[in-house]
Amino acid sequence: PEATTQDELMAVVRRLNEDPAVDGILCQLPLPRGLDSAQVIREIRPDKDVDGFHPINVGKLHLKEDGFVPCTPLGCMELLHRMGVNPSGKRAVVLGRSNLVGAPVARLLLNENATVTICHSKTENLPQVCAEADILIAAVGRAKMVTAEYVKEGAAVIDVGINRNEQGKLVGDVDFASVEPKAGFITPVPKGVGPMTITMLLKNTLKAYRQHEGE
d(CA 20, CA 25): 12
The predicted pLDDT at position 214 comes to 73
What Rg value do the Cα atoms of the chain yield, rounded? 18
- pLDDT one-digit tens code per residue, 179-202: 999 999 999 999 999 999 999 999
For the cut 80, the answer to whether the pLDDT of residue 205 exceeds it is: yes
Q: Give me the CATH topology for the region 1-63.
A: Rossmann fold (3.40.50)
| Mean pLDDT of the 55-72 span | 97
- Tell me if 204 sits within 8 A of 210, measured CB to CB: no
pTM (2 decimals)?
0.93
- pLDDT one-digit tens code per residue, 65-115: 999 999 999 999 999 999 999 999 999 999 999 999 999 999 999 999 999
Domain ranges of the chain: 1-63, 71-193
CATH dotted code for 71-193: 3.40.50.720
- pLDDT one-digit tens code per residue, 129-168: 999 999 999 999 999 999 999 999 999 999 999 998 888 8
d(CA 152, CA 156): 9
The predicted pLDDT at position 166 comes to 83
d(CA 160, CA 158): 6
Alpha carbon separation from 136 to 63, 97, 167, 209 (Å, rounded): 24, 13, 27, 34
The predicted pLDDT at position 140 comes to 94
* 1-63 and 71-193 have identical folds: yes
- pLDDT one-digit tens code per residue, 12-28: 999 999 999 999 999 99
d(CA 177, CA 22): 44
For the cut 90, the answer to whether the pLDDT of residue 121 exceeds it is: no
